[in-house]
Every structure is written in C-alpha cells, then in structure tokens.
C-alpha cells in the first residue's frame, strides 16, 4: 500500500543527511520509532497535549504524534538520541541529571528537547517564559519543581 503512493523525503536527522520513502499518511512519531528505531521519542496522549513525543524540527518543538513524516522533507530533525555528542551530555541533559529533574523518565525526552528549544530562542528566559514554554510538556512524577530548578540553572 505504501509503495503505491510513497513519498521520497530528504532531511537531516541528528546532524546526518537522510533520504527515505514514507507513506503520505505516516506520522512522524511512527516513522521515527518504527522505521528508524529511534525509540526515545515517546507516545502518550496522541493528541498533542502532553509533549512526550516532542522532537525539534528546524529547532522548534513539534509534537511528532500529530505531524506527518512527509512534512520533514528539507528540514532538520533532532530527537533525544541526537543531543549527546560522543557520550557527552548536552548542557540541558546534564542539568536534568544534576537536578534530579526526572523520575519515571517517560516525559524526559520531550521535556529535555522543549527546554533545548526554549534556551535556543531565549537564552535568558524569565520564570514566566519558562513556564509558558514548557506548559505543553506534562510530567506526572516530579511536580515540575526540580525541572524548574534544572532549567533555571542554565539561565
């Protein structure tokens, strides 16, 4: 079925150029998880309210559960697997570890990527900006207290 109407897309994934064929209806989350075996992107709400499936597309946080894989053609995608370089955590990842800003870890990839995007755009966000930017990422374990601490430590 996908062969009949598949689309060729070229994009950069975690810094590396890629070309793939995808079904026009394929969701970005399924493409990443099932076709590329990048399981760090988490599925939860399916309706773009929880942020667990957040990836960065051209530096902006996007819910991959409600985005089409075809739409990343020509764009740059960063998933949680792409943040650490040569085993060295990114500053956001390191801050989350240092501040114990995770518990079950299911929201963590999305939360870390959303924070990464926040700090790219606003290197010195106010508390209000942090809250505004991250309110699309739900965490049920931490009560957000240590997440706020981690993000503020980077400002």
Binding site for another protein (CB under 8 A): 1, 30, 33, 38-47, 49-50, 52, 79-81, 83-84, 89, 93, 96-98, 100, 102-109, 112, 127, 130-132, 134-148
CA–CA separation, 126 and 155 (whole Å):
9
Closest CB to another protein among residues 6, 103: 103
Burial 117-138 (b: 16+ CB within 10 A, else e): bbbeeeeebeeeebeebbeebb
Write down the least CB distance from residue 155 to another protein, Å. Answer: 15
Closest CB to another protein among residues 74, 140: 140
Residue 86, Cβ density class (10 Å: 0-12 exposed, 13-18 middle, ≥19 buried): exposed
CA–CA separation, 14 and 99 (whole Å):
25
Write down the least CB distance from residue 128 to another protein, Å. Answer: 9
Write down the least CB distance from residue 130 to another protein, Å. Answer: 8
Closest CB to another protein among residues 37, 123: 37
């Amino acid at each position: 079925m996908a062969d009949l109407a598949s689309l060729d897309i070229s994009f950069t994934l975690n810094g590396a150029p890629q070309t793939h064929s995808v079904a026009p209806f394929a969701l970005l989350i399924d493409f990443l998880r099932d076709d590329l075996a990048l399981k760090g992107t988490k599925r939860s709400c399916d309706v773009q309210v929880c942020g667990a499936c957040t990836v960065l597309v051209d530096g902006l946080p996007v819910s991959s559960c409600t985005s089409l894989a075809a739409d990343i053609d020509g764009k740059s995608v960063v998933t949680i697997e792409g943040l650490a370089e040569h085993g060295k955590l990114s500053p956001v990842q390191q801050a989350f570890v240092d501040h114990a800003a995770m518990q079950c870890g299911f929201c963590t990839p999305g939360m870390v990527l959303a924070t990464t995007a926040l700090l790219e755009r606003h290197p010195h966000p106010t508390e209000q900006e942090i809250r505004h930017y991250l309110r699309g990422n739900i965490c049920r374990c931490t009560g957000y207290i240590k997440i706020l601490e981690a993000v503020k430590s980077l400002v």
